[in-house]
């Protein structure tokens, strides 16, 4: 069977004549591919009538691929039920907030909580496990496809059927105990919103101006419903196979990535970026790597070139882009990169999407680049297998819960939590070569020396508050704010202070807080004379045991502290009262003793790798500009055979795998 790194694509043999598979496999081998994803939407082909199963075509595909040295990843088909199922059991269909059930022909359009649908899913997953669980050609499993509530992007969207309504009431009862406790926690005497029973609490709809806490609780319920839906299938597969089981997720926050992967064996991730947004993919890879840090993730979907549905979206990509896009997940800790899709669909919803070969079986313009990528994977395979990404000890905290809360209570007009973390925190650190990990409130913090924690509304998620205190006292440096620790577990303000604990931790008193816009205010650093403009939010602090790092020099907070630092045990807390520009964040980290890992330049991701007997780095140029970059590396590029000593030339969208 193939060895990683895996290069492959999604393959749909159910849509093509069976005699065509040999020609497809010949082209796959020519492209250098060693894995294919199959069956994720093929329920009607595997079970054309209830209880009648036909797996001969899939066995033939898996066997022929295996004979050619190409492994298979099998997907469970629960995203697309067959027509006989939705017609005979209409109660399985998703119910919108307007009370309508969609008809047949979509995907992800069934209720994740429906016991009837769960039973049908269990039957097909069990049969697949019995048929293929011990097949040595099957190297992994994918549950469903991009699980998420139907009808995104409305943020509180989820199924509103009677089953979900009843389960939501049960959830509220389990969490609050009494409806009086819920009324008090959400302050529902305001606007006469108080309820007399849990069953009376409505599911959100787009007509009513709902309470933010209700929207947040409903979204949490929706996420947990899909997490449980995935776990239900995972438990079945684990009884039948030793191959790793995952679920391919998108960079969306409707379903919690950490929670969904707790019962799974590896993280699977799908993304579609372009020549302007590879840094966004880098953020998500840094995040996915940390969800299961001991297991390399699989990038189960990306494009070779353009996206599309019934029309092309985004246009073709410049030469080299596919190379950079395909190497980036491998550089940042993954072991698989798969394209959507192998052969373009000849009809249907997504027939204009790019692929590796056309619907008539002719290699597309990216084919040669894909083959080059495959050659590079093979050349570096031993080095990649014997090393792993080195953590710099710097973490940036990201919370799916805060991301959802931000949709219902953004605090500052136009504030986008995810976008601001990606563009204003992670990207500057990436470009300055700090190489941060993206951590979550559940992450083991013991391996980190410095944490940047911006906009984390509530510190009690996964017991983080107590763990942060212990981590700082043991020697960690916490750089926190703005807008962190500003909401309780029910999305309400604290009533004793603007923060839950931060005033006490940081040794400050918050005299005033004002929005950061439309007029932004200047601040001056007391050491070095640096002056910058804060944005998004502005807290003005009086130091009460803390050292003032920066003062507001304009606006209503003039003379108050904008940033402070206080020793706590063996560590320290740096409190930021505003969102700093890139150079300000760099300045703060340097004052805390954190240094970049290299000076490679803003357009290159440099991922250091180390094993027991080998070390080096993978470099990927993200913006198609190229140039010569300086990095603390001297060694041989395993892709070209060239030797470099710190001065490393990079072509546009170039890749180097340098072993020291």
**160 domain-assigned:** no
The DSSP line for 464-519 is HHHHHHHHHHTT-EEEE-SS-S-S-TTSPPPSSSSSSSHHHHHTEEEEEEEE--SS
Q: Which residues pair with 550 in a beta bridge?
A: 525, 563
Closest CA to 574 of 646, 513, 484, 465: 484
Contacts of 478 (CB under 8 A, 6+ apart): 450, 451, 453, 468, 471, 472, 571, 572, 573, 574
Residues 375 and 498 in one domain: no
Answer yes or no: is pLDDT of 154 > 80. no
Residues 561 and 613 in one domain: no
**143 domain-assigned:** yes
DSSP reduced 3-state for 164? helix
pLDDT-based confidence at 153, cuts 50/70/90? Answer: low
What is the CATH number for 493?
3.40.50.880
In this prediction, residue 273 carries a pLDDT of: 93
**389 domain-assigned:** no
**597 domain-assigned:** no
CB 139 within 8 A of CB 89: no
Residues 248 and 341 in one domain: yes
Cα 266-272-273 angle, rounded to 5 deg? 120
HSE-up of residue 359 (Cα within 13 Å, Cβ side): 11
Give the 3-state secondary structure of 266-329: CCEEECCCCCCCHHHHHHHHHHHHHHCCCCCEEEEEECCCCEECCCEECCCCCCCHHHHHHHHH
What is the CATH number for 645?
2.60.40.1180
Q: What is the DSSP letter of 199?
A: G
Answer yes or no: is pLDDT of 537 > 80. yes
Residue 584's H or E segment, with its range, is helix 582-591
Of 546, 564, 591, at which residue does a domain stop?
591
In this prediction, residue 106 carries a pLDDT of: 84
Answer yes or no: is pLDDT of 252 > 80. yes
In this prediction, residue 1 carries a pLDDT of: 82
Q: What is the distance, to the nearest Å, from the Cα of residue 424 to the centroid of all Cα atoms in its chain? A: 17
In this prediction, residue 638 carries a pLDDT of: 98
Closest CA to 48 of 60, 61, 58, 38: 58
Residues 67 and 174 in one domain: no
Residues 227 and 202 in one domain: no
Q: What is the DSSP letter of 600?
A: -
Residues 460 and 565 in one domain: yes
**599 domain-assigned:** no
Tell me the average pLDDT across 581-586.
94
Answer yes or no: is pLDDT of 577 > 80. yes
164-209 pLDDT, tens digit per residue, is: 999 999 999 999 999 999 999 999 999 999 999 999 999 998 889 9
Q: How far apart are CA 364 and CA 436, in angstroms?
A: 37
pLDDT-based confidence at 157, cuts 50/70/90? Answer: confident
Residue 648's H or E segment, with its range, is strand 643-650
Answer yes or no: is pLDDT of 103 > 90. no
Answer yes or no: is pLDDT of 601 > 80. no
Answer yes or no: is pLDDT of 600 > 80. no
Closest CA to 145 of 243, 60, 237, 43: 43
In this prediction, residue 152 carries a pLDDT of: 63
**32 domain-assigned:** yes
Answer yes or no: is pLDDT of 236 > 70. yes
> Which structure tokens are listed for 509?
């008193």
pLDDT-based confidence at 155, cuts 50/70/90? Answer: low
508-536 pLDDT, tens digit per residue, is: 999 999 998 887 889 999 988 889 999 99
Residues 530 and 619 in one domain: no
In this prediction, residue 271 carries a pLDDT of: 96
Q: How far apart are CA 205 and CA 612, in angstroms?
A: 56
In this prediction, residue 640 carries a pLDDT of: 97
Residues 407 and 511 in one domain: yes
Number of structural domains (the chain) is 4
In this prediction, residue 87 carries a pLDDT of: 96
Burial class (CB in 10 A: 0-12, 13-18, 19+), 502: buried
Of 351, 383, 415, at which residue does a domain stop?
383
Tell me the average pLDDT across 387-392.
96
Of 383, 403, 431, at which residue does a domain stop?
383
- What whole-number percentage of the chain has pLDDT above 90? 90
Answer yes or no: is pLDDT of 557 > 70. yes
CB 260 within 8 A of CB 230: yes
Answer yes or no: is pLDDT of 36 > 90. yes
**81 domain-assigned:** yes
Q: How far apart are CA 69 and CA 341, in angstroms?
A: 19
Residues 611 and 585 in one domain: no
Residues 584 and 610 in one domain: no
Work out whether the CA dihedral 170, 175, 178, 184 comes out positive or negative.
negative
Closest CA to 344 of 309, 300, 301: 309
Residues 373 and 430 in one domain: no
In this prediction, residue 631 carries a pLDDT of: 87
Closest CA to 432 of 278, 603, 592: 603
Tell me how far apart the terminal alpha carbons of the chain are, to the nearest angstrom: 30
Contacts of 448 (CB under 8 A, 6+ apart): 391, 393, 394, 395, 437, 439, 471, 476
Cα 165-169-173 angle, rounded to 5 deg? 170
What is the CATH number for 306?
3.20.20.80
Residues 431 and 538 in one domain: yes
Average pLDDT taken over every residue of the chain: 95
Domain encompassing residue 618: 604-659
pLDDT-based confidence at 151, cuts 50/70/90? Answer: low
- What whole-number percentage of the chain has pLDDT above 70? 99
Tell me the average pLDDT across 267-274.
96
**637 domain-assigned:** yes
pLDDT-based confidence at 150, cuts 50/70/90? Answer: confident
Cα 587-593-599 angle, rounded to 5 deg? 65
Closest CA to 140 of 239, 60, 35, 290: 35
């Amino acid at each position: 069977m193939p060895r990683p790194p895996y290069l492959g694509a999604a393959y749909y043999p159910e849509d093509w004549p069976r005699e065509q598979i040999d020609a497809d496999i010949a082209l796959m081998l020519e492209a250098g591919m060693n894995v294919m994803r199959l069956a994720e939407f093929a329920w009607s082909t595997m079970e054309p009538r209830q209880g009648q199963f036909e797996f001969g075509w899939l066995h033939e595909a898996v066997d022929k691929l295996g004979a050619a040295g190409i492994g298979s990843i099998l997907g469970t088909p629960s995203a697309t039920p067959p027509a006989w199922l939705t017609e005979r059991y209409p109660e399985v269909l998703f119910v919108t907030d307007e009370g309508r059930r969609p008809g047949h022909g979509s995907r992800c359009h069934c209720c994740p909580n429906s016991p009837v649908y769960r039973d049908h899913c269990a039957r097909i997953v069990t049969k697949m496990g019995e048929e293929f669980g011990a097949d040595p050609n099957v190297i992994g499993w994918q549950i469903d496809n991009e699980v998420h509530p139907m009808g995104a992007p409305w943020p509180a969207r989820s199924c509103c059927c009677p089953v979900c309504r009843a389960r939501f009431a049960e959830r509220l009862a389990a969490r609050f105990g009494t409806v009086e406790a819920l009324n008090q926690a959400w302050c529902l005497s305001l606007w006469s919103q108080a309820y007399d029973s849990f069953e009376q609490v409505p599911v959100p709809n787009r007509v009513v101006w709902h309470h933010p806490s209700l929207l947040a609780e409903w979204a949490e319920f929706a996420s947990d419903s899909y997490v449980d839906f995935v776990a239900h299938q995972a438990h079945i597969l684990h009884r039948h196979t030793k191959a790793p089981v995952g679920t391919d997720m998108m960079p969306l926050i409707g379903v919690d990535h950490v929670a969904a992967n707790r019962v799974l064996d590896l993280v699977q991730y799908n993304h579609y970026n372009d020549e302007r947004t590879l840094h966004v993919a880098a953020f998500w890879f840094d995040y996915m790597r940390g969800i299961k840090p001991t297991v390399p993730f699989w990038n189960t979907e990306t494009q070779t070139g353009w996206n599309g549905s019934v029309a092309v979206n985004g246009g073709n990509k410049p030469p080299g882009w596919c190379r950079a896009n395909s190497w980036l997940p491998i550089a940042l800790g993954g072991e698989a990169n798969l394209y959507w899709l192998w052969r373009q669909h000849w009809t249907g919803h997504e027939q204009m999407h790019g692929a590796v070969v056309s619907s008539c079986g002719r290699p597309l313009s990216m084919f040669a680049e894909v083959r080059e990528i495959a050659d590079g994977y093979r050349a570096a395979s031993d080095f990649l297998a014997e090393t792993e990404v080195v953590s710099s000890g710097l973490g940036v905290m990201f919370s799916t819960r805060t991301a959802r809360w931000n949709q219902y209570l953004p605090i500052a007009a136009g504030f986008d939590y995810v976008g601001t973390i990606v563009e204003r925190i992670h990207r500057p650190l990436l470009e300055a070569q700090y190489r941060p990990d993206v951590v979550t409130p559940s992450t083991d913090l013991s391996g980190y020396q410095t944490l940047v924690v911006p906009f984390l509304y509530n510190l009690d998620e996964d017991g983080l508050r107590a763990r942060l205190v212990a981590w700082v006292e043991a020697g960690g440096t916490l750089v926190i704010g703005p807008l962190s620790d500003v909401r309780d577990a029910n999305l309400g303000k604290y009533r004793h202070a603007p923060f839950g604990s931060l005033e006490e931790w940081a040794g400050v008193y918050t005299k005033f807080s004002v929005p950061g816009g439309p007029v932004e205010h200047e601040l001056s650093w007391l050491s070095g004379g640096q002056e910058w403009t804060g944005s998004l939010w502005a807290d003005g602090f009086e130091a009460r045991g803390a050292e003032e790092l920066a003062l507001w020099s304009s606006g209503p907070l003039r003379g108050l502290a904008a940033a402070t630092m206080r020793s706590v045990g063996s560590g320290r807390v740096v409190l930021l009262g505003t969102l700093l520009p890139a150079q300000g964040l760099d300045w703060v980290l340097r004052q805390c003793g954190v240094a970049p890992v290299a000076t490679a330049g803003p357009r290159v991701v440099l991922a250091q790798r180390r094993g027991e007997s080998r070390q080096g780095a993978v470099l990927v140029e993200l913006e198609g500009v190229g140039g010569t970059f300086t990095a603390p590396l001297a060694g041989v590029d395993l892709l070209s055979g060239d030797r470099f000593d710190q001065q490393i030339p990079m072509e546009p969208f170039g890749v180097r795998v340098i072993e020291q």
